Chains A and B, each alone.
Chain A
Amino acid sequence: MATVEERVKAVTARVLRLSSDEINMDDSFTADLGAESVQSIELVAMFEEEFGIEMDEDAALAVETVGAAVEFITNVCKEQGISIE
């Protein structure tokens, strides 16, 4: 199974129309990767679909970087009993 980091980057690349190679853990979704507010909504939706989880919108939308998203999603998966790696 691909790692959480690989899967987060793959979803991000698909939604923001980037290459996964262009995405780093320190990148801010908005400042570095150019995500607009509408795309933030789509990112949350696609992360939920990719991992089979439900995320609290306020908490999810407060996540700013790719690395923080990896950590956040990892924690949510553990809380919701979703196997990740």
Chain B
Amino acid sequence: MRLILIDNSPEIRCKFSPLALGRPLWELRCGMTSLEEKFVAKINPNDVAYFVPDYMADFYRTRVKKPVNDVTVLAGDDLILVDPLVKVEDLKVPAQAASKIALDEQGRLLYARISKGDIERRPADTIEKFTASARESVPNVTCKLRKWNYIWDLVLANAELITADFAAAGQRGIEGTIEQPVAIRGSKKDIYVAPRARVHPMVTIDAENGPVYVDEGAEIQPFSRIEGPCYIGKEATLLGAKCREGNTIGPFCRIGGEVEASIIHGYSNKYHDGFIGHSYIGEWVNLGALTTNSDLKNDYSDVSVSLDGRQFIDTGSTKVGSLVGDHVKTSIGTLLNTGSYLGAMAIVMATGKPLPKFIPSFAWFVEGIVTKGFGKTRLYETAKMAMSRRGCEWSAAERAMWDAVFEATAPARNKAIKKGRRTLLA
């Protein structure tokens, strides 16, 4: 059976901004793994193929080295098509079953199981035509499966999913190196230190309230405290960090200071002191020393977030920190308000006060206003430099993808720039 992941709805994608700007939705993380990894673990397909927005297809092909936006994958095998935002624990896929399409109450596809025989009667040249054709001839059922609705939902569920993923991984004990003295609280069966992971002396691992998973090659330096549930990704480094409960630290991250209940994608740095809580941080982010966000309002009311610089959405939660897009750089001492949005590639300089809650993608936030700054080329040069320092390539395909994001995010950015200019002229 082949798993087909489809991400082609702009009105859904924008709810996962800014993290969805540079990746398909199934690449988002919650718990120890990405959404895709959860589907693969549940469904155990022979292979996986992807349908992504056109602007990121070339780049994503270089990333996964599998079929992307290739309709030929729709033939030759039984298929299961899935909305990547379906919560995997609600998905029940029998090994053998008749073709069926499951729709939500708005008629949107949740998943479809289509047998090889049914496909051969239904060739199509786009995924949209394929699913439309399948709906007409395969039995449709309406069902209720829980879905992720907004990017902050992943943050709020992170602790619970770390615990679930730890149980599913089935790994326990110490296979890496622990240099004494190290304090371990809670049960050792709730701790896993993978091969090549190193825990230095004077570290506390506290699994009393949830499991702790330290993945391969991670390094936990002295005076770090890790409270479970927590996942430390491959080759990540904690530098005397206070790693509170509910964190997913991605591969190759460098984390210091205090982090709580946050998801951080790979290759991001928060090297120095400062607090980040209930936040979702993308790849290649550098948070300057003493960058700190608020994740709780002074009056304990629900946090609202703007994903587009216009409307504010009530999250229904009192604890929401910052949403930080890929390649964002903050200066020393940056203060982020509760429910802040920093768009991808933004350069953010501190002002001594909490910053505006919405800073658009590719903005240079300087001297308290959004500006054009030194432009897009300089941002790409910085991205290329940051990636090369870690042995990663900034490719033409990646540049083309970000060019498309630059164009798509121009209206919000230009509006903010005009507002900034009015401030300067006043």
Q: Which residues of A contact B (CB under 8 A)?
A: 37-38, 41-42, 44-46, 48-49, 56-58, 61
From known contacts A38-B366, A57-B377, A58-B377, infer whether A44 and B372 are also in contact, taking CB-CB under 8 Å.
yes
Q: Is the CB of B374 within 8 A of A57?
A: yes
B375 on the A face (CB < 8 A): yes
- Chain B residues closer than 8 Å to A37, beta-carbon distance: 374
B107 on the A face (CB < 8 A): no
From known contacts A38-B366, A41-B364, A41-B366, infer whether A58 and B424 are also in contact, taking CB-CB under 8 Å.
no
- Chain A residues closer than 8 Å to B378, beta-carbon distance: 57-58
B373 on the A face (CB < 8 A): yes
CB distance from A41 to the nearest CB of B (A): 5
- Chain A residues closer than 8 Å to B371, beta-carbon distance: 41-42, 45
Chain B residue, CB-CB nearest to A50 = B425
Pair count A-B, CB < 8 A: 38
Chain B residue, CB-CB nearest to A40 = B374
- Chain A residues closer than 8 Å to B375, beta-carbon distance: 56-58, 61
- Chain A residues closer than 8 Å to B372, beta-carbon distance: 41, 44-45, 57
Of B367, B374, B376, B417, which contacts A42 at CB under 8 A?
A: B367
A49 to B419, CA, bound (A): 12
Q: Is the CB of B424 within 8 A of A46?
A: yes
Pick from A41, A49, A58 the residue with the most CB of B within 10 Å: A41
- Chain A residues closer than 8 Å to B374, beta-carbon distance: 37, 41, 57, 61
Of B349, B376, B377, B424, which contacts A45 at CB under 8 A?
A: B424
CB distance from A64 to the nearest CB of B (A): 15
The 5 closest A-B pairs by CB, nearest first: A57-B375, A41-B371, A58-B377, A41-B373, A38-B366
Q: Is the CB of B421 within 8 A of A45?
A: yes
Binary flags per residue of B343-366, CB closer than 8 Å to A gives 1, else 0: 000000100000000000000101
A58 to B372, CA, bound (A): 11
From known contacts A49-B421, A57-B372, infer whether A38 and B367 are also in contact, taking CB-CB under 8 Å.
yes
Q: How many residues of B contact A (CB 8 A)?
A: 17
Chain A residue, CB-CB nearest to B376 = A57
A22 to B425, CA, bound (A): 22
Q: Is the CB of A49 within 8 A of B425?
A: yes
- Chain B residues closer than 8 Å to A46, beta-carbon distance: 424
CB distance from B414 to the nearest CB of A (A): 10
Of A48, A49, A56, A57, which contacts B373 at CB under 8 A?
A: A57
Q: Is the CB of A42 within 8 A of B424?
A: yes
A38 to B331, CA, bound (A): 13
- Chain A residues closer than 8 Å to B376, beta-carbon distance: 57
Chain B residue, CB-CB nearest to A46 = B424
- Chain B residues closer than 8 Å to A45, beta-carbon distance: 371-372, 417, 420-421, 424
Chain A residue, CB-CB nearest to B375 = A57
A46 to B372, CA, bound (A): 12
Within 8 A of A (CB), among B374-426: 374-378, 417, 420-421, 424-425
Chain A residue, CB-CB nearest to B371 = A41
In the complex, 13 of the A-B residue pairs with CB atoms within 8 angstroms, ordered by the A residue number, are A41-B374, A42-B371, A42-B424, A44-B372, A45-B371, A45-B417, A49-B424, A56-B375, A57-B373, A57-B374, A57-B375, A57-B376, A58-B377
A41 to B349, CA, bound (A): 13
CB distance from B247 to the nearest CB of A (A): 34
CB distance from A20 to the nearest CB of B (A): 18
- Chain A residues closer than 8 Å to B367, beta-carbon distance: 38, 42
CB distance from B382 to the nearest CB of A (A): 14
A84 to B253, CA, bound (A): 53
A42 to B420, CA, bound (A): 10
Pick from A37, A42, A45 the residue with the most CB of B within 10 Å: A45
Chain B residue, CB-CB nearest to A56 = B375
CB distance from A38 to the nearest CB of B (A): 5
- Chain B residues closer than 8 Å to A42, beta-carbon distance: 367, 371, 424
Chain B residue, CB-CB nearest to A57 = B375
A41 to B364, CA, bound (A): 9
CB distance from A7 to the nearest CB of B (A): 14
Chain A residue, CB-CB nearest to B364 = A41
A61 to B381, CA, bound (A): 15
A64 to B378, CA, bound (A): 17
Chain B residue, CB-CB nearest to A15 = B424
A56 to B377, CA, bound (A): 11
A42 to B373, CA, bound (A): 8
- Chain A residues closer than 8 Å to B364, beta-carbon distance: 41
Chain A residue, CB-CB nearest to B373 = A41
A32 to B375, CA, bound (A): 24
A56 to B374, CA, bound (A): 10
CB distance from A60 to the nearest CB of B (A): 9
Chain A residue, CB-CB nearest to B367 = A38
- Chain B residues closer than 8 Å to A57, beta-carbon distance: 372-378
